[in-house]
Amino acid sequence: MTSERLQPGDTAPDFTLPDADGTEISLAAHKGRKVIVYFYPAALTPGCTKQACDFTDNLELLAGAGYDVIGVSPDKPEKLAKFREKEDLKVTLVGDPSKEVLTAYGAFGEKKLYGKTVTGVIRSTIVVDEEGKVERALYNVKATGHVAKIIKDLGI
């Protein structure tokens, strides 16, 4: 079962998920700012670490341009806290163990992994505008170089 992918102009599904400290983070609380919501398979894995570090390194630049960044994975808060500490991450990471939010965003479903079709998290980035609408929906993105590409595409 593959969830429906979002298209530009869609209303971004609202969510409230716990961050690394167990604090509830909701998309609605970011209204009035743009939000880059990125979905990744697992904390403490090489590609996801690279991506989280790239977002952390560019957080000031993105924040200055009016963007908040939220990373979503199926991990529990305890694992997110370990990830944050180990890699000194500044980006907000939230956990979605039920995968409801991942599914709502079209970021969970069938994907190719080493030539096999598996069901899992599809590395995706959704840019949400100030009104809570999808501005960009990028699916099957690469972990490496992705943040630089977003910055370029958004003209930051």
Question: Could you give the residue numbers annotated as active site?
Answer: 48
Could you write out the three-class secondary structure of 13-42? CCCEEEECCCCEEECHHHCCCEEEEEECCC
Exposure b/e, 136-154, CB count within 10 A at least 16 = b: bbebebebeebbeebbeeb
CA-CA distances (angstroms) from residue 152 to 139, 146, 155, 156? 17, 10, 5, 6
Is residue 43 within 8 A of residue 8, CB to CB? The reply is no
Residue with token string 């167990």: 22
- Partners of residue 73 on adjacent β-strands: 95
Q: What span, in angstroms and rounded, lies between the C-alpha atoms of 33 and 45? A: 30
